[in-house]
């Protein structure tokens, strides 16, 4: 069953993949001393609670629904350490990544497990980040049992974007299709899918688009469904920037920077476009985010031969989506 | 959390959807008295243990790994009743369907829960089958708590094929596509997907195909990947049966009956084919089973406008598959 519980943590973590930028996506499942599931939570966004703290807070709340917990991570961490009254004694946790042992924006998660009296922590993979690593050894020293390597292939997949944007640039291509492979239609993906895409737009350094999309679709390319900041843009086009019609909504987004070449300092880039743009840029892309609705239309399909290796797939309402590598 | 545990039962049940014919697909999750998951099992095939017995047997085995349990359902039921020693006292079960209260091929499942001392049984939907129904009232009379209606919309979806083939004919159309919507390629689906399709072929009353598939692909249309009986065939074609080349492998399957019209007594029919066949028969189809691999090819797509309502979707290796209604 340890793979089962680890898998629950993975599934939860993937739901927030990309949204945690610049942090890694991490998931955490907590079982009480009798093996009952208390929480399955993930790190949801940089600055918010780490997966471990989020899961423990959720478990705390389910055991003491009358308590109101502070929202801010440091206060939350402190509150739990002060008020746990041994409620997590002999509990077990499943982590997709070694817990951090450093004081970052939030206190170290490894310490949380030992302070709360956890019996055992299952970890998928070690953290190769020099600053945050060391949680595993810390736990062992504090007498918490540790088992490393549960579903480690899954662990490696989950952390791939993080490793990439940490070292340099990570390029994600977003594509929206009908189930019959056609990209043509006014609105292809449903609101849940578009909201996820808008959330990604709100955290990336740069949204990269081709000139033809802009001329054809007159898009705004903002993050309205996430009620968040619109991304800066890079327009890759043979056309000079001054020649585009400045009435196209994307040019009217306040404070938006628009580039015509990709700046080196941009670490997380999302490319959006159709078949033509995909064909031009595909070889430089790290991962593909493909949304598919559940309808067939009468339009032709994308016919670029590509063999995608799925890293993760799930459903958003009637849409299916997947995160792929070539 | 009750929806979470019920959902685990649903997911397991859907994996065996169609394969339980003529029985309904049913799933069961069992928690011990402390809320720990002991088993998530389904009814897998007619004649095999019901979901409830299968889950209880699995739980028994996990609690007493040294015991060897009988395989045959009646013997298994009896063995558990004799040897449980109260190990299921105050356990909880989640059932996607009201447990049966009748002595069929196997003893009634409702009785099993009361005899083993279960505290509570959560049920998604009532069984409308007059012979098997009554499990809910039986449980209540025996002092087992019952909560009905957990994820009942899911319950209704899961049992749809059963209700259909019980009353008359149930027609399933199987389609295999590339992720870019093309049906063209020598082998489109992976071995896991094809094995599932072959398992369905091994339980259906009739496999329905068009004449052009036969002339073009020279298929055998058997159940070799399931190591099971090849289905009888119905060939819908303007061409007379005697005019087909009898060297085509499907004609050489021993004891296979081949029809040119659908016989009334066939209750579960699977249609297989490509775009042309789909276009002709789509309006008489009850459900669509669509496999999609994770590759794009250079061939054109299916362009029949169809809005599919997903009932269930999952993954088989790198393939995605879904069960849809129009």
Given a contact cutoff of 8 angstroms between Cβ atoms, the answer to whether A51 and A26 are in contact is yes
B42 phi and psi angles, rounded to 5 deg = -135, 165
A301 near B CB under 8 A: yes
A307 near B CB under 8 A: yes
Given a contact cutoff of 8 angstroms between Cβ atoms, the answer to whether B175 and B301 are in contact is no
| Structure tokens, A164 | 């990439």
Chain B residues in contact with A35 (beta carbon < 8 A): 32, 34-37
Q: A22-31, A98-107, B34-43, B142-151: which range is least confident on average?
A: A98-107
Q: How many CA atoms lie within 13 A of A173 on its CB side?
A: 23
* Host H or E run for residue A78: helix A73-83
Testing the interface with B: which of A65, A177, A179, A282 to mutate, by most B Cβ within 10 A?
A179
Q: What is the pLDDT of residue B171?
A: 98
Q: Measured between alpha carbons, how far is B108 from B101 in angstroms, rounded to an integer?
A: 5
CA distance B222 to chain A (A): 27
Q: What is the chain B residue with the closest CA to A299?
A: B303
The reply to whether omega before A203 is within 30° of 0 (cis) is no
| Structure tokens, A288 | 């593909």
- Note whether A315 contacts B310, CB cutoff 8 Å: yes
B117 near A CB under 8 A: no
CA distance B263 to chain A (A): 31
B14 near A CB under 8 A: no
Of B35, B290, B292, the CB nearest to A34: B35
B187 near A CB under 8 A: no
Q: What is the pLDDT of residue B128?
A: 83
B124 near A CB under 8 A: no
A290 near B CB under 8 A: yes
Given a contact cutoff of 8 angstroms between Cβ atoms, the answer to whether A19 and A50 are in contact is no
Q: Measured between alpha carbons, how far is A10 from A24 in angstroms, rounded to an integer?
A: 12
What DSSP string describes B301-321? Answer: PP---EE-EEEEEEEETTEEE
Nearest alpha-carbon partner for B270 in B198, B213, B216, B326? B198
Q: Measured between alpha carbons, how far is B125 from A90 in angstroms, rounded to an integer?
A: 38
Q: What is the pLDDT of residue B132?
A: 65
Q: What is the pLDDT of residue B116?
A: 97
CA distance B224 to chain A (A): 27
Confidence bin at A132 (pLDDT 50/70/90): low
- pLDDT of A133 over the 80 cut: no
**Residue with structure tokens 């009942």?**
B152
What DSSP string describes B233-280? Answer: EEEE-SS-GGGS-TTSGGGGSTT--EESS--TT--EEEEE--HHHHHH
Q: Measured between alpha carbons, how far is A188 from A180 in angstroms, rounded to an integer?
A: 12
CA distance A129 to chain B (A): 30
SS (H, E, C) B84-109: CCCCCCCCEEEEEECCCCCCCCCCCH
- pLDDT of A285 over the 90 cut: yes
Q: What is the pLDDT of residues B19-66, one digit of tens each?
A: 999 999 999 999 999 999 999 999 999 999 999 999 999 999 999 999
* Host H or E run for residue A157: helix A152-167
Nearest alpha-carbon partner for B256 in B213, B215, B201, B217? B201
Q: Measured between alpha carbons, how far is B175 from B271 in angstroms, rounded to an integer?
A: 9
- pLDDT of B169 over the 90 cut: yes
Q: Measured between alpha carbons, how far is A16 from B318 in angstroms, rounded to an integer?
A: 21
Q: What is the pLDDT of residues B65-112, one digit of tens each?
A: 999 999 999 999 999 999 999 999 999 999 999 998 877 777 889 999
A5 phi and psi angles, rounded to 5 deg = -70, -35
Confidence bin at A106 (pLDDT 50/70/90): confident
Burial of residue B186 (CB within 10 Å: 0-12, 13-18, 19+) is: exposed
Q: Measured between alpha carbons, how far is B208 from B237 in angstroms, rounded to an integer?
A: 11
- Note whether B315 contacts A310, CB cutoff 8 Å: yes
Q: CA–CA distance from A91 to each of A8, A35, A229, B25, B308 (Å)?
A: 17, 8, 40, 36, 44
Question: Which segments of A178-316 are extended strands (E)?
Answer: 206-210, 233-236, 258-259, 268-272, 287-292, 295-296, 306-307, 309-316
Chain A residues in contact with B318 (beta carbon < 8 A): 309-310
* Percentage of chain B lying above the pLDDT 70 cut: 100
Nearest alpha-carbon partner for B52 in B138, B112, B2? B112
Q: What is the pLDDT of residue A3?
A: 98
A8 near B CB under 8 A: no
Chain B residues in contact with A290 (beta carbon < 8 A): 179
Strand-by-strand arrangement of the A120-125 sheet: A37-42, A27-31, A92-97, A120-125, A145-148
Q: Measured between alpha carbons, how far is A199 from A270 in angstroms, rounded to an integer?
A: 12
Q: What is the pLDDT of residues A69-90, one digit of tens each?
A: 999 999 999 999 999 999 999 9
* Percentage of chain A lying above the pLDDT 70 cut: 100
Query: Across chain A, what does the average pLDDT equal?
Result: 96
Chain B residues in contact with A310 (beta carbon < 8 A): 294, 315, 318
Set B3, B12, B44, B52: catalytic member: B52
- Note whether B34 contacts A37, CB cutoff 8 Å: no
Q: What is the pLDDT of residues B229-244, one digit of tens each?
A: 999 999 999 989 999 9
Contacts of A113 (CB under 8 A, 6+ apart): A52, A93, A99, A121, A139, A144
Pairing of strands B319-325, A287-292: unpaired
pTM as predicted: 0.96
A295 near B CB under 8 A: yes
Q: Measured between alpha carbons, how far is B195 from B298 in angstroms, rounded to an integer?
A: 26
Mean pLDDT of A301-324: 98
- Residue B144 C-alpha from the chain's centroid: 29
Given a contact cutoff of 8 angstroms between Cβ atoms, the answer to whether B28 and B94 are in contact is yes
Q: A179-193, B2-16, B126-140: which range is least confident on average?
A: B126-140
The CA-based dihedral angle spanning residues A296, A301, A305, A309, taken in that order and rounded to the nearest 10 degrees: -30
For A262, the 3-state DSSP assignment is coil
| Structure tokens, A243 | 């020649």
Of A31, A34, A302, the CB nearest to B180: A302
Q: What is the pLDDT of residues B207-231, one digit of tens each?
A: 999 999 899 999 999 999 999 999 9
A22 near B CB under 8 A: no
Chain A residues in contact with B306 (beta carbon < 8 A): 295-296
- Told to judge if B145 belongs to the known catalytic residues of this protein, a careful annotator would answer no
């Amino acid at each position: 069953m340890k793979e089962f519980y680890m898998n629950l943590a993975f599934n939860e973590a993937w739901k927030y993949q990309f949204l945690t930028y610049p942090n890694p996506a991490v998931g955490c499942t907590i079982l009480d001393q009798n093996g009952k599931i208390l929480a399955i939570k993930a790190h949801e966004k940089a600055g918010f609670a780490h997966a471990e703290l989020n899961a423990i807070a959720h478990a705390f709340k389910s055991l003491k629904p009358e308590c109101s917990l502070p929202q801010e991570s440091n206060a939350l961490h402190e509150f739990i350490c002060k008020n746990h009254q041994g409620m997590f004694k002999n509990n077990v946790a499943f982590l997709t990544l070694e817990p951090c042992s450093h004081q970052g924006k939030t206190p170290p998660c490894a310490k949380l497990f030992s302070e709360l009296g956890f019996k055992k922590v299952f970890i998928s993979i070690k953290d190769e980040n020099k600053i945050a690593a060391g949680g595993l050894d810390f736990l062992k020293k504090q007498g918490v049992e540790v088992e490393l390597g549960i579903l480690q292939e899954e662990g490696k997949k989950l952390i791939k974007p993080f490793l990439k944007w940490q070292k340099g640039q990570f390029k994600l291509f977003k594509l929206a299709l009908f189930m019959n492979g056609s990209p043509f239609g006014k609105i292809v993906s449903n609101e849940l899918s578009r909201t996820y895409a808008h959330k990604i737009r709100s955290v990336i350094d740069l949204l990269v688009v081709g000139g033809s999309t802009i001329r054809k679709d007159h898009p705004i390319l903002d993050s309205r469904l996430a009620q968040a900041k619109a991304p800066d843009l890079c327009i890759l086009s043979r056309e000079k920037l001054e020649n585009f019609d400045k009435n196209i909504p994307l040019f009217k987004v306040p404070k938006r920077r628009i580039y015509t070449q990709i700046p080196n300092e941009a670490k997380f880039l999302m490319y959006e476009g159709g078949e033509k743009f995909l064909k031009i840029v595909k070889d430089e892309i790290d991962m593909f985010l493909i949304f598919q609705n559940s309808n067939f239309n009468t339009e032709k399909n994308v016919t670029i031969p590509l063999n995608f290796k799925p890293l993760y797939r799930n459903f958003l309402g009637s849409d299916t989506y997947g995160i792929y590598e070539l």
